[in-house]
Structure 1
Amino acid sequence: MQIRDQIVLVTGGARGLGLAISQALIAEGAKVAVNYHTSKAQAEQLASAYPEQVFAYQADITDKTQVEALFIAAKTHFGSAITSVVNNALVQFEFNGDARPKIEELNTAIMTRQFDGAVLAALNTTQAALAEMKQASFGRIVNIGTNLVQNPVVPYHDYTAAKAALLAFTRTAAHELGEFGINVNMLSGGLLQQTDASKATPDFVFDLIASSTPLRRVTTPEEFASAIMMFLSPYSRAVTGQNLIVDGGLVKG
């Protein structure tokens, strides 16, 4: 199925990286269900600008009932079910090495908050999409990860552990769902310049990353978003259970 024929849910799709993903999909001609939690004005502005392509809906994706309602509402709006899901939403988090919780400060609440925002949220959207995807013998699920799993240059323990768990879930889900025509992959980035989560990062850190990267620059949200199109396109129909690192070559594999 071509991207222009898909109905794609982008969680957290109204701002930051999520907005870049939504805009890339709009440019490809896809219909986009833009999920938001607090970014109501941004989501409604996007829907107003592209009324034929964008449907904005508020839902806490860690809440299974709200996610199920989101899928029903999107199907009602577009007249057809969601075909693809990009699990992008990030629980409140800032890439600030000085303010990160150290090991001595970690607790169940901190770890669970990130796990719920990454793994539980992806489980909720996957389960909500499953029946329609199986019936269509087609589905694309793209989970957003991080290169910190391979290269934890800054020990964001809670965030990185949750994304590592999401990578494992990506691969187990791909194994189980492949026979139904559902591909599940992960796209992992480094520090993007710039999103709400990275605005607290000092400039010298971006400079250091750029100098260590073969492309000699930091990846932008728009560049990262464009790579997602590969996993949604027909050219990746034999690709599943993979983790593609999109960081300008900083981390290998």
Structure 2
Amino acid sequence: MTAQAETTAPITAALPLKDQLVLVTGGARGLGAAISTAFLEAGAKVVINYKSSETAANELAAKYPQQALAVQADVRDAGALASLAEEAGSHFKRPITTLVNNALVDFSFNGDARSKADSISAEELSAQFAGSVLAPVAAIQAVLPGMRETGFGRIVNIGTNLFQNPVVPYHDYTATKAALLSVTRTFADDLGQDGINVNMVSGGLLRTTDASAATPEEVFDLIAAGSPLRRVTTPAELADAVLFFASPLSRGVTGQNLIVDGGLVKG
């Protein structure tokens, strides 16, 4: 028997959270603020992106003056994202190493106010596709040169459990988040050779964010009753999972979708 030479791929270097420069899109309010805060508390440098929440972004950044930078940009504008990446690199003297695609453009989680199957329009679907697929892709492309230069990258896309458990008619939101999961997996395969891991964290209904503030209380109660934990997941709990995917603990994990909803949806 002829012995074959053992070949193994090189192990990707993993930066500690404290050495990472993190961009959180839509990072000033709700879930985004929870994610930004979690990274800041872990010692990371954080770029808090916002579209119109200037006051909230600046107030959060002011709590961590050496670590945080608030930058305005509409994530649907690829040029604005490229300028944001350049500004962040200049400010912190290092490229962005970690991206959390969290921004949710113009959406309210109120099933009674969403279009049903007989009325959902191409315009509604296109608007959500621009915010939930095209914008994350543009954000990835804006930070990709710096990640390749560093030889390290972590990309975490925020998804939803609703395409496994479509209990409310958020047709446009659910369809585009499903497309984002496909992007997550294909980009993971494409970028793995560059030391860049791409994953998704999918929450359910969160108690409470600006987006879920319009959700009736009885819906929160229904979700809690159906969850093994008998409660609704908090933004801070979902943020914990995002930090896992950015941390060295997940260095061997890519192309995955982790559902964080208290066990409501299985797999």
TM-score by length of 1: 0.99
Q: Please report how far the alpha carbon of residue 47 of structure 1 lies from its aligned counterpart in structure 2 after TM superposition.
A: 1.6
Local SS of the residue matching 1:141: strand
CA distance in 2 between partners of 1:114 and 1:176 (Å): 25
Give yes or no for the alignment of 1:66 onto 2:80. Answer: yes
Q: CA RMSD in A?
A: 0.7
Task: Give matches, 1:170-189, under 5 Å.
Answer: 170-189=184-203
Find the counterpart in structure 2 of residue 121 from structure 1. 135
Between stretches 225-234 and 101-110, larger displacement belongs to 101-110
Give yes or no for the alignment of 1:33 onto 2:47. Answer: yes
- Which of 254, 259, 265 is equivalent to 1:240? 254
CA contact (8 A) 2:31 2:239 kept: yes
CA distance in 2 between partners of 1:45 and 1:95 (Å): 26
Task: Give matches, 1:172-251, under 5 Å.
Answer: 172-251=186-265
**AA in 1 matched with 2:84:** L
Give yes or no for the alignment of 1:101 onto 2:115. Answer: yes
CA distance in 2 between partners of 1:154 and 1:104 (Å): 15
Per-residue deviation, residues 83-133 of structure 1 (Å, max 9, x unmatched): 000000001111111111112222221001111111111111110111111
- Which of 10, 22, 27 is equivalent to 1:8? 22
Local SS of the residue matching 1:144: strand
Local SS of the residue matching 1:85: strand
CA distance in 2 between partners of 1:67 and 1:75 (Å): 12
CA distance in 1 between partners of 2:129 and 2:230 (Å): 33
CA distance in 2 between partners of 1:23 and 1:129 (Å): 21
Structure 1: 4+ residue segments shifted above 4 A: none
Q: Please report how far the alpha carbon of residue 237 of structure 1 lies from its aligned counterpart in structure 2 after TM superposition.
A: 0.6
- Radius of gyration: which is bigger? 2
Local SS of the residue matching 2:202: strand
CA distance in 1 between partners of 2:262 and 2:195 (Å): 31
Find the counterpart in structure 1 of residue 99 from structure 2. 85
**AA in 2 matched with 1:160:** T
Q: Please report how far the alpha carbon of residue 49 of structure 1 lies from its aligned counterpart in structure 2 after TM superposition.
A: 1.6
CA distance in 2 between partners of 1:171 and 1:126 (Å): 14
CA contact (8 A) 2:22 2:47 kept: yes
TM-score by length of 2: 0.94
Q: What is the total number of aligned residue pairs between the two structures?
A: 253
**AA in 1 matched with 2:22:** V
Local SS of the residue matching 1:103: coil
Find the counterpart in structure 1 of residue 166 from structure 2. 152
CA distance in 2 between partners of 1:103 and 1:147 (Å): 19
**AA in 1 matched with 2:153:** G
Which 5+ residue runs of structure 1 have no aligned equivalent?
none
Local SS of the residue matching 1:188: strand
CA distance in 1 between partners of 2:61 and 2:246 (Å): 22
CA distance in 2 between partners of 1:104 and 1:208 (Å): 26
